[in-house]
Amino acid sequence: MSPARQGATTVRSEEALATVRVEPDGAGGALIVLAGEIDQDCAAEVQDVLISALGACPAGVVLDLSGVTFCDCSFLNVLLHARLRAGVGVDRDRRFRIRSMSARVARLLALTGTLAYFPHGNGPRPHPDGNGPGPYPAEAVSSRAGRPDGPRGGLRR
């Protein structure tokens, strides 16, 4: 068994069919892989795993959300709570980053205007003044992206 796989755990919620796997990265951090449907039925359990990993990993965590097939606002709350617990903005050496995400997760973050709060891809993009989320393309954080009601809001007639 490789060092990265030692200590890996799997948590399942049969109601929501979600899987959470925590893999130490050997540098004081962890890769957390979430997959399946994450909704209110398993949000508390997923949050417990994330908070536990943050407590055990002084270097922080990197999330792989590419296997998430469904998520709702309860999952968004889990991510926001974990981000706060990670000390993002307070401890500049601590990682809390999304390595990859499914289209469902990207849509949830874009529609709620929270995508910029989660550094993703190749790494964080620091804000020009050193505080807050980095400058992401406007189309990536638009709260109107993908909505069927058009650019001005309301329903098309």
Flag whether 95 is in a domain.
yes
Burial (CB count within 10 angstroms: exposed 0-12, middle 13-18, buried 19+), residue 130: exposed
Number of domains in the chain: 1
Within-domain flag for 155: no
Q: Is residue 146 part of a domain?
A: no
Residue 156 lies in a domain: no
Q: Return the CATH number at 32.
A: 3.30.750.24
| pLDDT of residue 128 exceeding 50 | no
Domain that holds residue 92: 9-141
* Residue scoring higher pLDDT (127 or 69): 69
User: Do the domain assignments include residue 53?
Assistant: yes
DSSP 115-147: GGGS-BTTS----TTSSSS----HHHH-TTTT-
Domain-embedded: residue 125: yes
**How many whole angstroms separate alpha carbon 136 and alpha carbon 126?**
10
Tens digit of pLDDT for each residue in 15-65?
A: 658 889 999 888 889 999 999 999 998 899 999 999 999 989 888 899 999
Enter the tokens of residue 106: 């990207």
Q: pLDDT higher for 76 or 145?
A: 76
Residue 149 falls inside a structural domain: no
Task: Please tell me whether the overall predicted TM-score, pTM, comes out greater than 0.85 for this model.
Answer: no
pLDDT of residue 131: 41
The torsion of the CA quartet 16, 48, 28, 24, rounded to 10 degrees, works out to -30
97 in any annotated domain: yes
Per-residue pLDDT band for 13 (boundaries 50, 70, 90) equals low
CB 134 within 8 A of CB 124: yes
